[in-house]
Amino acid sequence: MEIRSRTAHPPMGGAAKWTLAYLDVAEKDGTSFLDPDQYAHAVSLFDDLASESNPRISDRQSVKKIDEFYELRDKGGILRKINLRVFFAVLDEKKLILVLGSIKKEDEGAVPNYIVRKMRNRLREATRAMEPEE
């Protein structure tokens, strides 16, 4: 699992307050069910989130805490019938938003436990990979 950085491009020329990064497996998740335009839309949601003072609380995006991380929720518009969930962590000490993965939510109710466990494991592995070597 590799961590990749990305320069945020907030809408309307705003300034990014957070650095964006994503796991290579998160990119594979998204591109497995989103077409290129839908994927670009999902990326733009994070560009917008990076301009927020606190990406955990957004006036413009639907964000919900799940376990040790958060989910950004979107549906309709360019996504058509896709009910998109993108999971991310906020690492305050690095001023970093780290995208862990995404799913096309099919069922009503809470995110399935196996998805929560998968994202928690990805977060732990990524956090270990970012620790300085002694």
* Rounded average pLDDT over 32-58: 94
CB atoms within 10 A of CB 60: 11
Average pLDDT, the chain: 92
**Domains in the chain: boundaries:** 3-130
d(CA 14, CA 51): 7
Nearest to 97 by CA among 57, 44, 56: 56
**Per-residue pLDDT tens digits for 87-126:** 999 999 999 999 999 999 988 888 999 999 999 999 999 9
- pLDDT, residue 132, reads 77
CB atoms within 10 A of CB 96: 19
Confidence of residue 16 (pLDDT cuts 50, 70, 90): confident
Confidence of residue 134 (pLDDT cuts 50, 70, 90): low
The CA distances from residue 46 to 40, 53, 89, 127, in Å, are 10, 13, 12, 20
- Please, which contacts does 63-71 make with residues 24 or more away whose CB atoms are closer than 8 Å? 66/111, 66/116, 66/119, 67/116, 67/119, 67/120, 68/120, 68/123, 69/100, 69/119, 69/120, 69/123, 71/111
Please give the order of strands across the beta sheet that includes 83-91: 3-6, 19-23, 96-104, 83-91, 69-75, 62-66
**Per-residue pLDDT tens digits for 62-72:** 999 999 999 99
On whether the pTM is more than 0.85, the answer is: yes
Query: Is the pLDDT score of 12 beyond 70?
Result: no
Chosen CATH of 3-130 out of 3.30.2310.20, 3.40.228.10, 3.50.50.60, 3.60.21.10:
3.30.2310.20
